[in-house]
Structure 1
């Protein structure tokens, strides 16, 4: 190897080993603004929201967003890693609870509340972001913990033995949808249905669990239907001949 080649190789090694250059102060401020805006937009609209909408909410140009995050997947990955840590911690607490039934109930209630508050998190948990390796590995960490919590409750004789892991996923979907349906009338009414469902899953109880709140009255229910169900279409009248 010539001296020139050795010098070139050494320079390349030094460049590769050099730490990443920190962002300029204005670039870092923009990054923080983009993440804060994305957190709010995704929480409200879920992952269907686009980068243009996030840029408007952050008060920056779309090009600025793309300079910090090359695509929406990169932004979602940066934003939701910490939220998934909270999900893992919630499920670990359930498994560590000396009372298997209390732990399972607390985890289910917390997980549903997280997804109602953050629609983006709901989309991440149920795989709406696509085949993203980092999130797939986190789900692979969460699912065995949930399964362990379910098995503990079954073995303790407090949970129906025919309950499957996917039943708890389905219950979460149901309750999140109830919360969206009744949001304008009573944003907490989903907890009533949580207790109804838990009573159906539990094999030991001295009396029905208090539901924690009233049902929607008929007017509120019909108003919710009007907001969420499509209006009936009317067929145009056939022309009358003379």
Structure 2
């Protein structure tokens, strides 16, 4: 009986540790999406309902937690960039990539910051970064060579454009979380070649009252946020 008890205890502890790690990662995913990378490990512990020591036993620092939370998202981002290169239509491939990026960044503040900081010194990100940057460069080069993109557009412009759309999405999210679609279309219209059809604007503009509401929401303090 004593031998059986000895065998059962480690299995229970491993299961508890796995559940705690899952709770920590899910809590971090929610907080990063809502508040960005500025959150602390104390914030994560509070959201997960575990002691902060439990978080530090699983993740030595916030970089490790960021890598755990966003590795899959960055992998999907890299896959989408490479899939866009396989699209036989260079303009459609570019639009497909931009739409994917704008859609996912608009709903996840932390992911937006991770994409902006692709040089983040995390070993697990290096291989993904080395897939994303060349793929985006090729998306742009292929569209330029096909004559569907303004010849002055550079890969860095595409990243800047995506983050401009994301910034507007963050501003207007409390009022209209789909507004990013409008500004993505406006931005694509600004970089297309003359022989490419204009994108329709799928979402109406914000009214003056809605802009004021968005300003008020942005200025309001976020209760419980620690910096």
Fold match by TM threshold 0.5: yes
In the aligned structure 1, how far is the partner of 2:137 from the partner of 2:104?
Answer: 20
Contiguous gaps of at least 5 residues in structure 1: 1-20, 231-242
Deviations 1:54-81 (A, max 9, x none): 1111110101111111111111122211
In the aligned structure 2, how far is the partner of 1:95 from the partner of 1:207?
Answer: 20
Superposed CA RMSD: 2.0
Which consecutive segments of 4 or more residues in structure 1 shift more than 4 A? Answer: none
Map of 1:70 onto structure 2:
60
Partner SS, residue 37 of structure 2: helix
Displacement after TM superposition at 1:206 (Å): 6.5
1:194 to 184, 203, 215: 184
Pair 1:225 & 2:182 matched: no
Equivalent residues in 2 for 1:85-100, closer than 5 Å:
85-100=75-90
Q: Give the TM-score normalised by structure 1.
A: 0.81
1:179 to 154, 169, 189: 169
Equivalent residues in 2 for 1:42-53, closer than 5 Å:
42-53=32-43
Contact kept, 8 Å, 2:106 with 2:166, in 1: the verdict is yes
Contiguous gaps of at least 5 residues in structure 2: 1-9, 221-227
Contact kept, 8 Å, 1:175 with 1:194, in 2: the verdict is yes
Displacement after TM superposition at 1:87 (Å): 0.5
Q: Give the TM-score normalised by structure 2.
A: 0.86
Q: Which of structures 1 and 2 has the larger relative contact order (alpha carbons within 8 angstroms, sep 6+)?
A: 2
Deviations 1:85-138 (A, max 9, x none): 100111011100001000101100111111122222112112288422332442
CA 1:104–1:207 in 2, change beyond 3 Å: closer, same or farther? closer
Equivalent residues in 2 for 1:45-194, closer than 5 Å:
45-127=35-117, 130-194=120-184
CA 1:206–1:106 in 2, change beyond 3 Å: closer, same or farther? closer
In the aligned structure 2, how far is the partner of 1:228 from the partner of 1:109?
Answer: 25
CA 1:190–1:34 in 2, change beyond 3 Å: closer, same or farther? same
Largest Rg, 1 or 2: 1
